[in-house]
Amino acid sequence: MKKLFMAFAALVLSISLFQGVEAKTVQVTALEDFQTSNPPQVLHVQMNANTRLDYDLMLFQGFQVTGKIVKQGEGFIFVPVSYVNYQEEKLPIDKEYPAAYKGKSGLIRQNQPFSLVFPNNGPDTFQYYVPSVSDMN
């Protein structure tokens, strides 16, 4: 019985540890034609959904993201380096958030959606404290 309990506890612990390494698949739209087997060194995409990369950085739907490409086997890794926000300001991305291409090999046309898999760097939801009138007294 004690061994069964220890095995169950180990299973629960291992499952809770692996939940932190989940990935999130994000759909983006290509802003130029490219071949997945021979991608360009720099790729421009548009975000099709809000994507939080970490606590400080969220790429909103419609943001245009520029990334460098690292070739990996039949696919590639997209590493965002900057983005253009709604005010058309080009802002750098200081940390690296590598995202793997997910899909079939072949030609991706301009305005064609495809998927990138970002590692899960933090929760997508945050709880903020909003003071009330009674807190100001």
- Asked if residue 16 has pLDDT above 50, the reply is no
**Residue (of 46, 80, 43) closest to 63 by Cα position:** 46
Average pLDDT over residues 91-118: 92
Please name the residues in contact with 33: beta carbons below 8 A apart, sequence gap of 6 or more: 107, 108, 109, 110
Rounded Cα distance, 38 and 52, in Å: 28
Most confident option among 15-19, 70-74, 90-94, 133-137: 90-94
Q: For residue 77, what pLDDT band results from cuts at 50, 70 and 90?
A: very high
Rounded Cα distance, 17 and 31, in Å: 38
Please name the residues in contact with 132: beta carbons below 8 A apart, sequence gap of 6 or more: none
Residue of 132 and 45 predicted with greater confidence: 45
Q: Indicate the range of 19-28, 43-52, 74-83, 110-119 predicted with least confidence.
A: 19-28
**Residue (of 59, 49, 52) closest to 28 by Cα position:** 49
Q: For residue 3, what pLDDT band results from cuts at 50, 70 and 90?
A: low
Rounded Cα distance, 10 and 18, in Å: 12
Query: What's the pLDDT at 37?
Result: 87
Tokens linked to 95: 């940390």
Please name the residues in contact with 63: beta carbons below 8 A apart, sequence gap of 6 or more: 46, 47, 83, 84, 85, 86
Query: What's the pLDDT at 134?
Result: 67
